[in-house]
Amino acid sequence: MKKIAFLFPGQGSQSVGMGADIYEKYDGVRAFFEMADTLTGLPVSQLCFEGPMKALTETVNLQPAVTAVNLAFLGLIREAGIVPDISAGHSLGEYSALCAAGVISPEDTLRLVFRRGELMHREATKHKGAMAAIIGLDIDAVRELVAQVAPEGVVAVANHNAEKQIVITGAPDPVSKVSELARDRRGKAIPLRVSGAWHSPLIRGAGEEFGQCLETIAFHAPESRVIQNVTADFGSSPDEIRSLMARQLCSPVRWYDTVRRLMAEGTEVFAEIGPGKVLSGLARKILPQDYPCTLYNINDLKSLERFVNEMKAA
């Protein structure tokens, strides 16, 4: 069997209608979404299948919605007998990765992301924030610009998504200043449509309460390996993983290093499980053209069936 990595998307991958076709076909998926609705007290199913997009995109709704879709597809893949050698998730998606590895249950995964969304939304309403994608400069150059502007206000690296695709986060003026400096160095700076400065010190006020929430959840030893956002390395003990998830809220997402680590581990199948194609697109940018692997997007019934059939035939 080829070495398989399960990759789980986070905020930014959502679309109205996500998960609807598997909901219609599988009784287990319908039961799972009913559980998600009941557990969160939100109309998760309606938001996923009908929108509207404005409501779906609100982080308090979005985090449980995207996670529910991720886990619904994961459940069907598990039923087919396909398990990962390694899992990883981008920011919010890391919770789905932990579930895939057996570290936390599906129910507790939804509890955590629901509370995470509530706390992040609360902090975003207190502290106006902004984010921007810097294209064409490497991580050292972006860090240098961030350090130059940081004395003027809160600004930080949020995501290192690809070698020269880095997201910055913080207060609007410092983010704008770093963006200007990046353009001066012939980079591109694209403002992102977000409701808060995610992965920045501006949402640090959520940290203590979320840490307390994490302490109420049972974390188990991983059944398969998980690469953590904070370290781009494997988490081991339940206590270590819980601690890293507390830090993840305000730490950079080291996605470029994560994909490079998957390559170093000899991963042959990269399966993005959940809505959109963001992570497979980033993998194509990061992996060398001659690196032998197959990339999958499992985001609808047709792609699910293709993946299952090809994995069983391998």
SS3 287: coil
Name which of 98, 57, 75 is nearest 219 in CA terms.
98
CA dihedral 283, 285, 290, 296 (to 10 degrees): 30
- Write the pLDDT tens digit of every residue in 139-197: 999 999 999 999 999 999 999 999 999 999 999 999 999 999 999 999 999 999 898 99
The model carries a pTM of: 0.97
Locate CATH 3.40.366.10 in the chain: 4-125+202-313
Residues 91-106, mean pLDDT to the nearest whole number? 98
Class of domain 4-125+202-313 as given by CATH: alpha beta
Whether 98 shows a pLDDT value over 90: the answer reads yes
Strands 165-170 and 155-162 come out as antiparallel
pLDDT band at 1 (very low <50, low <70, confident <90, very high): confident
Are 155 and 170 spatial neighbours (Cβ–Cβ below 8 Å)? yes
- Write the pLDDT tens digit of every residue in 231-284: 999 999 999 999 999 999 999 999 999 999 999 999 999 999 999 999 999 999
Residues with catalytic function = 91, 199
Selected residue with higher pLDDT from 18 and 208:
18
Per DSSP, the residues of 59-108 read HHHHHHHHHHHHHHHHHHHHHTT---SEEEESTTHHHHHHHHTTSS-HHH
Q: How far is CA 220 from the centre of its chain?
A: 21
The pLDDT of residue 224: 97
SS3 212: helix
**Nearest-angstrom CA–CA distance, 29 and 284:** 30
Residue 147 neighbours by CB distance under 10 Å: 11
Residues 74-88, mean pLDDT to the nearest whole number? 98
Give residues with Cβ within 8 angstroms of 278, minimum separation 6. Answer: 9, 12, 13, 90, 272
Residues 45-54, mean pLDDT to the nearest whole number? 97
Name which of 300, 235, 265, 284 is nearest 89 in CA terms.
235
**Nearest-angstrom CA–CA distance, 130 and 173:** 9
The pLDDT of residue 314: 83
pLDDT band at 104 (very low <50, low <70, confident <90, very high): very high
Name which of 60, 29, 42, 96 is nearest 274 in CA terms.
96
The pLDDT of residue 195: 87
CATH architecture under which domain 130-193 falls:
2-Layer Sandwich (3.30)
The pLDDT of residue 50: 97
Strands 4-8 and 269-273 come out as parallel
The pLDDT of residue 59: 94
- Write the pLDDT tens digit of every residue in 118-140: 999 999 999 999 999 999 999 99
Which token pair is 5?
């990595």
Locate CATH 3.30.70.250 in the chain: 130-193
